[in-house]
A = this chain, B = another copy of it.
């Protein structure tokens, strides 16, 4: 069986990058990833590319994977766009991983990009909303804030989760994001401000939600047995899991469980031969604060219903037992849809190498890391586990 390693990662700053289009975003992430490989890589050695993106300029841009590789002088290599809503580049990473596992490819690119700030607020609300079940959710009048608000209320009702535990996710992630120069929302936020912020959908306020973001990210993967030729510090991909679920939450067994994420985690742990207790650092999909608590439960960091406790006990802070979202997460780092999955990989790779520039964000002695990326309100999910 072929092993797979990540040898270089790159990521733009996430934010309102009004002076950059898709080509500039992708290029910047690509060239950073290439420059991140200590002993260098001739880009012509990259054999295949998997690129996640959801929105294409109101449908203005087709064949976008080919357009992106053309832009970074990789023209001619096979490339395809992967689109699974917010999990697009998490799946792109999985498929790049499988391409190397297949023995057909030695060096492969996985990446993602999104340009959200050049669209109106209404347009963004529209195209994001379609990642749930259009017939049974959107046309019935709900949207993602509404769906996650229902999940939050039910979680509070069934398990006694408190509003403060949920809001505490924002406090923690903003604390991390404030120290990350690539994050979009680089400020701390007090608990009270989260709870009393402008209401999105009760009980979630605007400070429970991730922002609208531009950005791109790239990871370069290679056969494990070649990795040491490029770097003394490859990060190995030791597990990959993915799944889908009913799009409409009313079709699911439970509205407080993202079963797709449970299953993706189960597969990834099983392949990696590790369990939740072995994870030293994780990046999880906190599109809304409540989603981070669901992630704790899917990933086995907490028992079902007990995610809130980890926040209360500080378990997932930078200096806690399982630091989660040291980057600031989607909440504070930002959520450029198609760029989020490989953006999580970018963070985990730096954490496992121990070379996070801002030392106060560096998790100490992290050896095993995890990335958890969700599409829609759990219609798709993908989990990867990494080892330094």
Contacts and interface: CB of A to CB of B under 8 A. Distances in A.
Interface of A: 1, 48, 54, 56, 58-63, 65-67, 69-70, 75-85, 91, 94-95, 98-99, 101-105, 126-134, 240, 242-247, 251, 259-260, 263-264, 375-376, 379-380, 382
6 contacts: A63-B84, A66-B379, A75-B245, A78-B380, A95-B95, A101-B103
B77 A243 contact: yes
A77 B98 CA distance: 16
A84 B80 contact: yes
A85 B103 contact: no
Nearest first, the 6 A-B pairs at minimum CB distance are A78-B242, A62-B131, A101-B102, A62-B130, A66-B244, A63-B379
Main secondary structure of the interface of A (DSSP, over half): mixed
Q: Which of A105, A130, A251, A263 has its CB near the most chain B CB atoms (within 10 A)?
A: A130
A206 B133 CA distance: 38
Contact of A69 (B94, B244, B375): B244
Nearest to A81: B83
Nearest to A252: B75
A242 B104 CA distance: 12
A95 to B, nearest CB: 6
Contacts of A79: 84, 244, 380
B382 A78 contact: yes
A277 B27 CA distance: 42
A336 B85 CA distance: 23
Contacts of A245: 66, 70, 75-76
Contacts of A77: 243-244
Count of identical protomers in the assembly:
2
Contact of A260 (B76, B98, B246, B379): B76
Given A70-B244, A379-B66, A130 B60 contact: yes
Given A65-B244, A78-B380, 15 more contacts: A56-B130, A61-B134, A62-B131, A63-B84, A63-B376, A70-B244, A70-B246, A75-B244, A76-B263, A79-B380, A80-B82, A82-B82, A95-B99, A98-B104, A101-B103
A33 B361 CA distance: 52
B66 A62 contact: no
Given A76-B260, A82-B82, A95-B80, A59 B127 contact: yes
Contacts of A251: 70
Given A1-B103, A70-B246, A98-B102, A380 B130 contact: no
B80 A376 contact: no
A49 to B, nearest CB: 8
